[in-house]
Amino acid sequence: MRKMLALFALVGATIACGGNTGNPSVSNAPPTAPTTGGTPTTAPVGGARSNPAAVGAYVTVGDITIRVLGVSDGQPGEGISTELQPGQHLLQVSMEVTCNLSPDASCSVNSFYFSTVGQSGVENASAMWDTPPDDLSGKSFFGGATVTGNLMLVEDEGDITTLMKYSDFEGVAWFDLH
């Protein structure tokens, strides 16, 4: 009788715990994705590498809004210059940045937050040693203000899929440069 009660207790405990006895479950059925009301979800424009913002689009990241105005070939700066790898060249990216804080708070732009990613999937740091005309890096400005200027970035030669990545402590934004 005790053995029978022990067996019932074991079966009952197994059922109460969802039938899992500690072994992983195996299924040949394909996994199913959770439904979201039948509407596929995508990242907001500029919010993911797979959905970059086009030149001219406004993307807000934290306290700032960035808009790429144009892209051209960059020229190495005088004095210290970024060491380019074979097959790389400089891009000059013209943009405007707006500080979305109150008039008493400030924002700043730092080239350290910008990089490029091309078809190789490898991230290239900004060309922080090359100072373009109307350099945007290092500018501080207060809430409500918009600054316009240029940054230098590194691109792999012939890559027509280059994206600019802005990444700071408040988020990431992606821009299609071509």
The pLDDT tens digits of the residues spanning 118-158 come to 999 999 888 877 788 889 998 999 999 999 999 999 998 88
Domains and CATH numbers, the chain: 64-176 (2.60.40.1240)
Q: What is the pLDDT of residue 130?
A: 78
User: What pTM value is reported for the model?
Assistant: 0.72
The token pair at 122 is 């490898």
Apex 79 CA angle, 78 and 82, nearest 5: 85
Name the band, by pLDDT with cuts 50, 70 and 90, for residue 53: very high
pLDDT, residue 132, reads 84
For range 20-47, the mean pLDDT: 48
Q: How confident is the model at residue 17 (pLDDT cuts 50, 70, 90)?
A: very low
Say if CB 58 and CB 100 are below 8 A apart. Answer: no
pLDDT attached to residue 79: 56
Q: Give pLDDT, residue 10.
A: 42
Largest CA distance in the chain: 93
Supply the pLDDT for residue 2. Answer: 46
- Vertex 105: Cα angle to 102 and 108 (nearest 5): 120
pLDDT (0 to 100) of residue 55: 95
Across the beta sheet with 163-168, what order do the strands follow? 123-125, 114-117, 163-168, 171-176
Closest alpha carbon to 151 in 125, 169, 170: 125
